[in-house]
Structure 1
C-alpha cells in the first residue's frame, strides 16, 4: 500500500465519525447534485472535490455553524428546515450545470451565513448542571454527532451536611439546580444513625409532591441520612442525600459553662452570667433616697418652727 493511500485510510478512520450540520440534514445525493457542476476557473475543468472542500470549510469545520446548531430539545426540526431552505434550491439550480468555483464560493458562503443567522435565533437551553441528576431538558443538539448531547451525570448526588440542636426544628429542602418536569413524585427515606447511600439501609417515610421534609422537634434518634428521590413517570431522575447531625443540649450547656470558667480565670475572679429574663430592680437609687429623706427632715423642721412662732404669747 502506498504512503498516500495509507494516509487517506488514517484520516478516514480519524474523522469518519465526525459529522456536521450540513451532513446531518442534507442527504449525500443532494450534495452530489449541488457539486456536480463545480468548475475550476483557472483550468475550466470540473472539479467536484473542490466543491466538497468548500462545504467542509464553510459548514463542516465552521465553529459558528456548529455553535448555531446547539439548540434545545425539539428544535432540530427547525434546524433541518433552515438548512434545507439554503441548500435545496441551490442544488436544484446547479444540478447538471457548470458554474465557476468563484460563484460556488460566494453562494455557499451566503448560505452558511444565513444558516448561522437563522439558527442562532432558535431557543437556547441552559445546558447541564453538574454534578448529578438525569437532566433531559438540559440537552443541546450537537451537529458533530447529529443528536442531542445527554447530561451523563450519576443519579446520586454528594452528601450535604446539616447540623441542628436537640429539640430544635429541622427542615430539609430537596432542591436541584436544573428544571424539573411537571409530573414529579418525591419520596423521602431515612437511614437512622448511619451515613450511607446503600438502598437496603433506607426506610421510606413519605411520598408525594412535597420537597420539604420537616421535623418539628429534633431528637437524637433523628440523626442519620435522609434521602430525597425524585421520580418522573415512574423513572428516578435524581437522588439527594442529607446527613443530619444532632447536637445534645447538655453538650451546649457544658460549652457555655466552660466559657464562663475561662473568663473567670482571665479576670482572676468569679464571673457569673446575668440571669436571663430576670425582672429589673424596683428599689430606688441611694441618691434618690438621700434626697427624699433630706427633704422630709427639712419640711419637719419648718413645720415645727412655724408651730413654735404661732404658740408664742404676744
Structure 2
C-alpha cells in the first residue's frame, strides 16, 4: 500500500504488503506497475473504510485477524467469478456478521486507574488503546476521632486479579499525592485489600494495587481527625434523638377556630337575651291583665248591696 500509506482500515491491518500485492495481482492479472494494480488497491481501501470505526477487546485481536484473513482468502477464491466491487462488498458483509458475534468489551470506568480489561484494538490506527484515565485517584476526605477505629478499603469498580499485591502507605500531617513523602505501613496478609487503623492520626493514607514499579491504580484517603471522643458524639446523638422523638410523640392539639367560636357564643347570647326580653314582656302583659281584672272585680263588689 505504498501508494496510500496514510490509510489503515481493518482490512489492511493484517498481513504483509506483499500479500495484498499478490492478491491484486491474482485478481487483475497485472503487475505492480500496471494501472489495474493501483485500481485494485484503491478498491480494497474504499471497501474497508466503513471498518475503520471498529474496536474490539485486546484479547479479541487474534479473532479479528482471523476474520480479516478469511475475507482475504475469500477474495482470492472468487477472482474471475464476479466483479471485484461485488466480491469486496460480500467480504465486508461477512466481516460485519462475524464481528457482531464477538463479545462486548468492558467499558472504561472513571475516574482513574489502568484498566487492562477495557483495553481495545482500534482498527482506525491498527493499534491497542487504553482508557485515558490518570493512574492516581482524587483524594477522598474522611472524618474521624482520635479514639475511633476505622477500616479503609482499596476496592475498585473494575475487575482486578485477586492475587494482585497491595501496598499501604502513610504521609503524616499532609494532604498529598507525592509518593516520595509516603512511608509503607504493615497491612494484614489475610485481608490485603483492607486496612484497620486504631487511634488514627491526621494525614494521607494511600493504597497501591499492583507492583510498586508498575501499579494499576493508587487511591488516597485524607484523615480529618478531631480531638473529641466518639463516645461523646454518640451521647449527643442519643440526646438529640430523644428530644426529636419526644417532639414527634406529643399528641397534637386540635386547632380551635377562636373567631368562629366567639361569633357563635355571641350570637347565642343575643338570642337568649331576646328570649328573656320576650318572656318579660309576656309576664308583664299577663300581670297587667290580671291586675286590671282584679280592679274590676273589686269595683263590682263595692257596688253590690
With normalisation by structure 1, the TM-score equals 0.63
Q: Check 1:139–1:18 CA distance in 2 against 1; reply closer, same or farther (3 A cut).
A: farther
Q: Check 1:192–1:28 CA distance in 2 against 1; reply closer, same or farther (3 A cut).
A: same
CA distance in 1, matches of 2:205, 2:101: 44
Aligned to 2:150: 170
Aligned to 1:71: 56
Contact 2:166–2:207, Cα closer than 8 Å, also in 1: yes
Contact 1:141–1:149, Cα closer than 8 Å, also in 2: yes
Aligned to 1:57: 46
Shift of 1:180: 1.0
Q: Check 1:17–1:181 CA distance in 2 against 1; reply closer, same or farther (3 A cut).
A: farther
Q: Check 1:131–1:250 CA distance in 2 against 1; reply closer, same or farther (3 A cut).
A: closer
Contact 2:148–2:230, Cα closer than 8 Å, also in 1: no
SS in 2 for 1:172: strand
Is it true that 1:81 corresponds to 2:66 in the alignment? yes
Is it true that 1:194 corresponds to 2:148 in the alignment? no
Contact 1:165–1:248, Cα closer than 8 Å, also in 2: yes
CA distance in 1, matches of 2:131, 2:165: 21
Contact 1:190–1:227, Cα closer than 8 Å, also in 2: yes
Q: Check 1:52–1:17 CA distance in 2 against 1; reply closer, same or farther (3 A cut).
A: closer
Q: Which runs of 4+ in 1 moved over 6 A?
A: 250-254, 273-276
Aligned residues: 232
CA distance in 1, matches of 2:35, 2:180: 71
Contact 1:181–1:232, Cα closer than 8 Å, also in 2: no
Equivalent position to 1:235, from 199, 203, 214: 214
Deviations 1:249-284 (CA, angstroms, capped at 9, x unpaired)? 279979x99xxxxxxxxxxxxxxx7997xxxxxxxx
Q: Check 1:85–1:195 CA distance in 2 against 1; reply closer, same or farther (3 A cut).
A: same
Contact 1:20–1:144, Cα closer than 8 Å, also in 2: yes
Shift of 1:166: 4.0
SS in 1 for 2:64: helix
Aligned to 2:286: none
Contact 1:128–1:138, Cα closer than 8 Å, also in 2: yes
Equivalent position to 2:36, from 44, 47, 53: 47
Shift of 1:111: 0.5
Instruction: Report matched runs for 1:107-118 at 5 Å.
Output: 107-118=87-98
SS in 1 for 2:185: strand
Contact 1:34–1:92, Cα closer than 8 Å, also in 2: no
Shift of 1:93: 4.6
Q: Can you give the 5+ residue segments of structure 2 that lack an aligned partner in the other structure?
A: 243-305
With normalisation by structure 2, the TM-score equals 0.64
Contact 1:21–1:66, Cα closer than 8 Å, also in 2: yes
* CA-atom RMSD in angstroms: 3.6
Deviations 1:82-124 (CA, angstroms, capped at 9, x unpaired)? 1111212422552xx5x77xx2122111110111111222233
Contact 2:146–2:229, Cα closer than 8 Å, also in 1: no
Shift of 1:19: 1.0
Aligned to 1:244: 223
